[in-house]
Structure 1
Amino acid sequence: MGWGADKKPAGPSEVYFEFTQIGAQMRVAAIDAATGTEVIIIAPVSATQIQMQNLALAKLKRRMEQGGG
């Protein structure tokens, strides 16, 4: 996903997504393959899969940048 000034990847490389519907909501887990870092979002089922993935990926990138990886 690009390289930062310290020559380390700027964000997650390979990401796995897991979708679980819970009533009218979708639980989306985004997991960084290299570190095992996982974040969860809850979205309405009316959102598209791309919207859910983008939101979960943005949260995962923030977590990785904050050293949570």
Structure 2
Amino acid sequence: MSGDALGEVIIEITRVGDVQRVAAVHVATGVEVVVQAPANAALADVRTLVLKKLERALSADDAPPPADRPGKIV
């Protein structure tokens, strides 16, 4: 499957009892995210959710590291 702006994305849906486990892997980077949803959730909604989570995970990699904060010295 393919995410629009993400490039190639593999989505795996596994039903476990009353929930479904949805994993998305960005092929170019290997970044994987997982969400759980009710088994009767609409496929389009679950797909949108996991792709948004993957976009956020990929954008977090681009963010600069936080500045060093030594904490409170007592």
> What range is the shorter-chain TM-score in?
0.7 to 0.9
What is the aligned partner in structure 1 of residue 33 from structure 2?
39
- Report the Cα offset of residue 13 of structure 1: 1.1
Q: Which amino acid aligns with 2:39?
A: V
**How many Å separate the matches in 1 of 2:29 and 2:51?**
14
Encode CA deviations 1:6-29: one digit per residue, 9 max, x unaligned.
xxxxxx211110011010000000
Corresponding pairs, count = 58
Which protein shows a greater Rg?
2
Give unpaired runs (5+ residues) of structure 2. 63-74
1:15 and 2:12 aligned: no
For the aligned residue pairs, the C-alpha RMSD in angstroms reads 1.2
Deviation beyond 4 Å, 4+ runs, structure 1? none
Q: Which amino acid aligns with 2:61?
A: G
**How many Å separate the matches in 2 of 1:49 and 1:33?**
21
What is the aligned partner in structure 1 of residue 52 from structure 2?
58
Instruction: Give TM-score, length-normalised by structure 1.
Output: 0.79
Give unpaired runs (5+ residues) of structure 1. 2-11
Instruction: Give TM-score, length-normalised by structure 2.
Output: 0.74
